[in-house]
Amino acid sequence: MSKTIRITTALVLCIAVAVITFVSVSVYLREQYDTELDRQHIAYNNAVANLNKKYEDLYDISKALKILKEAQNYVDQNYLFDIDDDAVKTALSDAMYDILFADTAEGDIQDYLLNAYFSAIGDDYTLYHSKAEMEELSNSSKGRLYGIGVYVYQDPDTGYIYVNRVMPGSPAETAGLLRGDAIINVEGTPVTSESYSQCVSLVAGELGTTVKLKILRNGNELDINPVRGEVRTTAVYTEYKNDYAYITITEFSGHVAEDFSKAIDEAESKGIKGYIFDMRDNPGGNLDIICSVLDKLLPEGPIITLMDKDKNVLESYNSDADCINKPMVVLCNENTASAGELFTAALKDYQMATVIGTTTFGKGTGQNIWPLSDGSGVRITHFYYNPPFSENYHLKGITPNIIVEESEYYKNRPFLRGGDDDEQLNAAVAELDRLTKPEK
Tell me: pLDDT of 363 over 60: yes
For residue 231, the cross-strand partners are 145
pLDDT tens-digit readout, 332-345: 999 999 999 999 99
Tell me: pLDDT of 33 over 60: no
Our CA angle for 164, 169, 172, nearest 5°, is 50
The mean pLDDT of 260-271, rounded to a whole number, is: 98
Q: What is the CA radius of gyration of the chain?
A: 34
For residue 236, the cross-strand partners are 249
Alpha carbon distance 255, 119 (integer Å): 32
**Nearest one of 262, 254, 263, 324 to 294, comparing CA atoms:** 324
Average pLDDT, the chain: 88
Alpha carbon distance 408, 417 (integer Å): 12
pLDDT tens-digit readout, 114-124: 999 999 999 99
The mean pLDDT of 141-170, rounded to a whole number, is: 88
- pLDDT-derived band at 399 (thresholds 50, 70, 90) equals very high
The mean pLDDT of 352-377, rounded to a whole number, is: 96
**Nearest one of 82, 68, 77 to 118, comparing CA atoms:** 68
The pLDDT value recorded for residue 101 is 82
The pLDDT value recorded for residue 38 is 54
- At residue 22, what is the residue type? F
Alpha carbon distance 388, 317 (integer Å): 9
- pLDDT-derived band at 16 (thresholds 50, 70, 90) equals very low
8 Å CB contact between 253 and 141: yes
Task: Classify burial at 61, counting beta carbons within 10 Å of its beta carbon; exposed 0-12, middle 13-18, buried 19 or more.
Answer: middle
Alpha carbon distance 128, 105 (integer Å): 17
Phi, psi of 105 (to 5 degrees): -70, 125
8 Å CB contact between 179 and 153: no
Alpha carbon distance 141, 400 (integer Å): 30
Predicted structure pTM score = 0.82
The rounded Cα 393 to chain-centroid distance in angstroms is 24
The pLDDT value recorded for residue 330 is 98
Tell me: pLDDT of 251 over 80: yes
Residues 6+ apart with CB under 8 A from 210: 225, 226, 227, 228
8 Å CB contact between 253 and 287: no
**Nearest one of 204, 205, 222, 259 to 213, comparing CA atoms:** 222
Half-sphere exposure for 426 (CA within 13 Å, toward CB): 8
The mean pLDDT of 183-194, rounded to a whole number, is: 95
The mean pLDDT of 412-440, rounded to a whole number, is: 91
